[in-house]
Structure 1
Amino acid sequence: MDAKVAEQLDTLKRQDLVTGLANRQHFLSEMEKAVSSAISGKIDQALLYVELDGYRRTLDSIGVGSADLLLADVASCLGEQVGEQDLVARFSDHTFTVLANNRSHAECATFAETIAKAIDSKIFEVGQQSVSMTASVGVCLLTEKISRVQDVLERAAESARSASEEGGNRVVVFDPSAKEKAQAEKDQHWLSLIKDALNKDGFVLFYQPMISLQGAEGEYYEILLRMSSPKGEIMPNNFLPVAAKHGLLPHIDRWVIGKAISILAERLQQGSRCTFFVKISPESIQDGTILQWLAQQLKQAKLPGKHLVLEMPESKVVTNLKPARLLAQGLTQLHCGFTLEQFGSGLNSFQLLK
C-alpha cells in the first residue's frame, strides 16, 4: 500500500461519510487532547454543541430520504463559519459539534452567535425543495476545572437543551456559578422542608410486610420513610441526599426509630406481636451516643428490645467496620437485632459476618 492510499484511508477513518466533517470518534479523540491542554493552562478553547431545531418536523416535510442532503448542506454552512484552527464534526444524527481553538472566552460566545445566525439566515436546498432551519447552540468553555471530556459534553449539551427550551435559535453559555447557585437554592428549599418535618412530625412511616421463610411467629415489617406534602408523599431519594449533605441523617434516624418504638409499644399493649426492621445510616453509628439514646427510648416505652431490628446495607458496613461492630454488640445487650441489607453483594460477605 503506497503512502497516498494509506493517507486516504486514514482520512476516511476520521470523516463522516454524509457530511465530510470529522466523525464522532475523531472529534472525541481531539477533545481529549483539548481537555488535557486546558488542565495544563490553555484557556482559549470551547466546545460548541449545535443542535438543529425542529429537525423531526422538517424531515416529515422533506421526507427521510432527503435527510442526508439537508445535513450535508448544514455541514457546508458550518464549514464556512469556522477557521482553520477550529474542528467541526457531525456528532450524532442532527447534532454538530465545534471545538473552537485560539479564541478568547468572549470570542467563543460571539463565535457561537455567528454560527446560530448563519444557520438562521441560510435557505437550505434539498433537491427540489427549500427549507429554513435554526439551531440551539450550547457552549462550554474549557478550563482547568473540567478534567473529563464527558463533563464538557454534558454541560454543552445541557446548555443546548436550555436554548431549545427557551424557544431555540439562540446561544446559551454554560455558567457554573449560575448552576451552583440554582443547586444551592434547591438544597435550601429541601433543607427547610426537612427541618419542618423533623420539628412538626412531617414524616410518615409505611409498613412493608415481611414473611419469615423459617415460619417464625409474629408479624414482621420493614419501615419505609416518606415525607408528607399537600401533593402527596415525597420519596426519600428526593430529600435524603440533602439531609446527608447537611448532617441531618442522624436526626432523621432518631425520628424514625423513636416513632417506630412508640408504635411498637402501642401494638404490644394491644396484644400484637410485631417486629420492625428500621434502616440506620452510617452517620448515626459514628455518632457514639446512639446506643445510650436507644436504651433510654426502649426504657421509656417499656418495649422489649427484641421487637426492634436495625438494618444497614452491607456496602456501608464494610466501610464502617469498627462502629458497626460496636453497634451490633450494643444492640445484642439491648436484645435488639442487627441485620445486613443486600447481603452477598460484596466480595467477602461471609468473612464480614466474623
Structure 2
Amino acid sequence: MLIVEDSEDDAILLLRALKKGGIEPFYQVVDTEDGLRKALENELWDIVITDHNMPGFTSFQVLELTRQYGTDLPVLIVSGLIGEDVAVSAMKAGAHDYIMKNNLSRLIPAIRREVSDSSVRKAKRVAESTLEHMAFHDSLTDLANRREFERRLTHALQDAQETGRHHVLLYLDLDQFKIVNDTSGHVAGDELLKQISKILSRHIRSDDTLARLGGDEFGVLLRGCDASHAKRVAETLCEEVREYRFVWHNKPFSVSLSVGMVVISNAYNSTSELLSHADLACYAAKDRGRNNVQLYQSDDSEMQQRQADMQWTSRIQDALQTDSFILYQQEMVPLQAHNADGFRTEFLVRLQQGKTIVPPGAFIPAAERFGLMPRIDRRVIDLAFSYLDRTALGRQSTGTFFINLSGSSLSDAELYGYIRNLVEKYSILPERVCFEITETSAIANLNQTISFIEQSRKDGFEFALDDFGSGMSSFSYLRALPVDYLKVDGGFVRNLLDDPIDLSIVDACNRIGHAAGLKTIAEFVENDAIRARVTELGLDYAQGFGIAKPKPLD
C-alpha cells in the first residue's frame, strides 16, 4: 500500500484504522511528487491512498502520475476537507472513491473492493493480451502464424508491383518429421519443431519473417533480396538443420530440409499463386533427394508434372457436377434453462465418393486455394434449404439451423440474390437460418461482410461468428459486426479444465459476447466435465462430441 500523506499523525491514524479492520499491509508513506514518482518506479503497489490537499501537491497530480505507472492501480482519496465538486472532478480524473478522514467506516470495504476489482481487471488485460498475441503467432513455436505470414507476403507483393523491388519466399518442409512423430509420439514431434524453430531463427534478419505455416512446414520472407543471396540463406538453413541431431529418450534422429524458393516480382498477381509455386518447388526439392533448394521455374518439366498431379480441382468440380456433396448435422444443446427455446443444429458438408465419405479437411484447403469455395457454399445452402423444405422444419415457429459460409463467399456480390431466390423456391422462413462466418474471414473481408450481414438480417437471417478468439488482434471488430451468436474457439474450450489461461480466455469471450448482447456457444465440448464448467461460466449453448457426434441428415 502506497500512502500519500503530508501529516504524520493522519498517516498513523490511517494505519490504526487499517489494523483495526484486519489489514496490516506492507506500506510506504510519501509526501512529495518526487517521492511518489520514486515509489512508483521502485515497487509494484496494489493500491494508493492519498490525501487531497498537500503543500504544492494535490490528489490530481497523484492520479496523473499513477496512471503513468499502472493502468489498473486503484487510487482512493482520504481527505479531511474536500468539496463535493472537487470530489466529482477527482472521480472523473480516475479516483476510485473518496472518503472523509472523520468517517473512516467505509475505508476497509473500499480497499477490499478495489484490490479485488483491480485483480479482475489485470486478469482480463492478460487474457486480452494473450488473445492478441495468439492472433499473430503460432502457439507451439511462437513464430508468426500463417495468417500473419500471408499478410506480410501480401505487403511484399504490393511493394514488388509498385517499386519493382524483388523479395524472396522460401517454403521449408522438414524431412523425416513423420518418422519422429510416428515412432516417438506427438510430444517428441512438438519438441523437434520448437528446436528447429530456434535453429532457423538464428539466421533470419530482423526485418525478415520466419513463420510456421502448419504441421512441419515453415515459411521465410526475405525482403529486398535477390535470388542468389536468398539461395545462400536457404542453403545455410539446410546445412544447419542437416548437422543438427535431435535426441529423444537417448534415441538420435537425423533431419533435413527441403526448400522451395520463389522470387517475388511484379510478374505475380496474388499471394496464393506465390505460395502454390513455392509449394511446387518444395515438392521438387523432395523429389530430387531432399536436403536441397529448388527455385520455381515455369519451364521446369518436373514442376509442371507436379502441378498436373494436383487433382483436387477436377475432383471437386466433378463432385459439384454429380451432386456428390452431402450434408451431416451436429446438434447443439442449451446450457441455461432460459435458452431452451428450440432445436439448434449445424449443417456440415461431406464429399461422398462411392462408399467413402471424405471429411472437409481433405478437400476444403484445395477448394480455398483454387477458388472453388463459393460454388461449394452455394451447393451447401441449396442442400440445407431443400432439407428444411422437405421436412417442413424451415417453416416452424422455432428451431435454428447453422450454415457455414467461407471468406471468399463473403466477397461474392451475387450470393445474397442467390439466397433470396432459394428462400422463395423452398418457401422457408429466413428466421430459421443462421449463417456462420469465421472470425478471420470476417476481418479479412470486413466491409463486404458487414454489408452482407446487414442486408441479410433485414430479411430475418441470423449470423454467428465462428472460432472467436483465434484470429482477432482485438475485440474492437465485434462492435462493427452485427452478429447474433459468438462461437468460442474450441481450441480454448478443449483445454480449459487444465489451462487457467484458456479458462480465462473462454470466460472473457463469454462476458464480452454477453456485453454485446450476443448468445455464446462453446465448441469442442468433449465430455461432461467440460460441459459442466462452461455451464458454470454462463455460456448459452454447447456443441461437440460430448454432446452429439455429426450424423447424416437422412
Where on the TM-score scale, by shorter chain, does this alignment land: which range? 0.5 to 0.7
Change (3 A) 1:42 1:344: closer
1:230 aligns with 2:230: no
Change (3 A) 1:155 1:337: closer
1:213 CA displacement: 2.9
Change (3 A) 1:43 1:325: closer
| Equivalent position to 1:184, from 296, 299, 307 | 307
Unaligned runs of 5+ in 2: 1-195, 206-221, 248-253, 265-277, 481-554
- Classify the secondary structure of the residue corresponding to 1:211: strand
AA in 1 matched with 2:309: K
1:348 aligns with 2:484: no
Query: Counterpart in 1 of 2:512?
Result: none
Residues in 2 aligned to 1:218 and 1:348: alpha-carbon distance in whole angstroms:
33
Residues in 2 aligned to 1:196 and 1:351: alpha-carbon distance in whole angstroms:
38
Change (3 A) 1:186 1:216: farther
Query: Counterpart in 1 of 2:226?
Result: 39
1:315 aligns with 2:502: no
For residues 156-206 of structure 1, the C-alpha deviation after alignment (integer angstroms, 9 at most, x for no partner) is 9964x8749xxxxxx98857446633442233x111111111111101211
Residues in 2 aligned to 1:26 and 1:221: alpha-carbon distance in whole angstroms:
46
1:267 aligns with 2:388: no
1:43 CA displacement: 9.9
1:203 aligns with 2:325: yes
- Classify the secondary structure of the residue corresponding to 2:341: coil
For residues 67-87 of structure 1, the C-alpha deviation after alignment (integer angstroms, 9 at most, x for no partner) is xxxxxxxxxxxxxxxxxxxx9
- Classify the secondary structure of the residue corresponding to 1:340: strand
1:269 CA displacement: 6.2
AA in 2 matched with 1:285: L
Change (3 A) 1:238 1:90: closer
Change (3 A) 1:158 1:49: farther
- Classify the secondary structure of the residue corresponding to 2:309: helix
AA in 1 matched with 2:410: I
Relative to the length of structure 1, the TM-score reads: 0.54
Residues in 1 aligned to 2:411 and 2:422: alpha-carbon distance in whole angstroms:
19
Query: Counterpart in 2 of 1:71?
Result: none
The count of residues paired between Structure 1 and Structure 2 equals 240
Residues in 2 aligned to 1:264 and 1:27: alpha-carbon distance in whole angstroms:
53
Residues in 2 aligned to 1:319 and 1:143: alpha-carbon distance in whole angstroms:
25
1:315 CA displacement: 1.6
The answer on whether the counterparts of 1:203 and 1:226 sit within 8 Å (CA) in structure 2 is yes
| Equivalent position to 1:252, from 373, 376, 382 | 376
Query: Counterpart in 1 of 2:427?
Result: 302
AA in 1 matched with 2:375: H
Identity of aligned residues (%): 23
Residues in 1 aligned to 2:411 and 2:200: alpha-carbon distance in whole angstroms:
48
For residues 203-251 of structure 1, the C-alpha deviation after alignment (integer angstroms, 9 at most, x for no partner) is 1211011113343332211111111123621122222222223322111
Residues in 2 aligned to 1:280 and 1:344: alpha-carbon distance in whole angstroms:
18
The answer on whether the counterparts of 2:389 and 2:428 sit within 8 Å (CA) in structure 1 is yes
Residues in 1 aligned to 2:365 and 2:474: alpha-carbon distance in whole angstroms:
28
AA in 1 matched with 2:304: K
AA in 2 matched with 1:293: Y
Query: Counterpart in 2 of 1:242?
Result: 366
1:327 CA displacement: 1.4
Change (3 A) 1:186 1:234: farther
1:318 CA displacement: 1.4
Unaligned runs of 5+ in 1: 1-23, 51-86, 96-134, 146-150, 165-170
For residues 254-298 of structure 1, the C-alpha deviation after alignment (integer angstroms, 9 at most, x for no partner) is 100111011011222699754211110122121112111111101
Change (3 A) 1:226 1:300: same
The answer on whether the counterparts of 1:307 and 1:336 sit within 8 Å (CA) in structure 2 is yes
| Equivalent position to 2:334, from 193, 196, 212 | 212
Query: Counterpart in 2 of 1:282?
Result: 407
AA in 2 matched with 1:91: E
The answer on whether the counterparts of 2:327 and 2:350 sit within 8 Å (CA) in structure 1 is yes
Residues in 1 aligned to 2:302 and 2:374: alpha-carbon distance in whole angstroms:
29
1:324 aligns with 2:449: yes
Residues in 2 aligned to 1:28 and 1:270: alpha-carbon distance in whole angstroms:
54
Query: Counterpart in 1 of 2:245?
Result: 93
> RMSD between aligned alpha carbons?
4.6
AA in 1 matched with 2:326: V
5 Å matches for 1:91-240? Answer: 91-93=243-245, 159=286, 163=289, 174=294, 176=296, 177=300, 180-187=303-310, 189-214=311-336, 215-230=339-354, 232-240=356-364
Residues in 2 aligned to 1:263 and 1:89: alpha-carbon distance in whole angstroms:
54
Query: Counterpart in 2 of 1:291?
Result: 416
Query: Counterpart in 1 of 2:500?
Result: none
The answer on whether the counterparts of 2:395 and 2:428 sit within 8 Å (CA) in structure 1 is no
AA in 2 matched with 1:349: F
The answer on whether the counterparts of 2:261 and 2:295 sit within 8 Å (CA) in structure 1 is no
Residues in 2 aligned to 1:247 and 1:181: alpha-carbon distance in whole angstroms:
20
The answer on whether the counterparts of 1:298 and 1:304 sit within 8 Å (CA) in structure 2 is yes
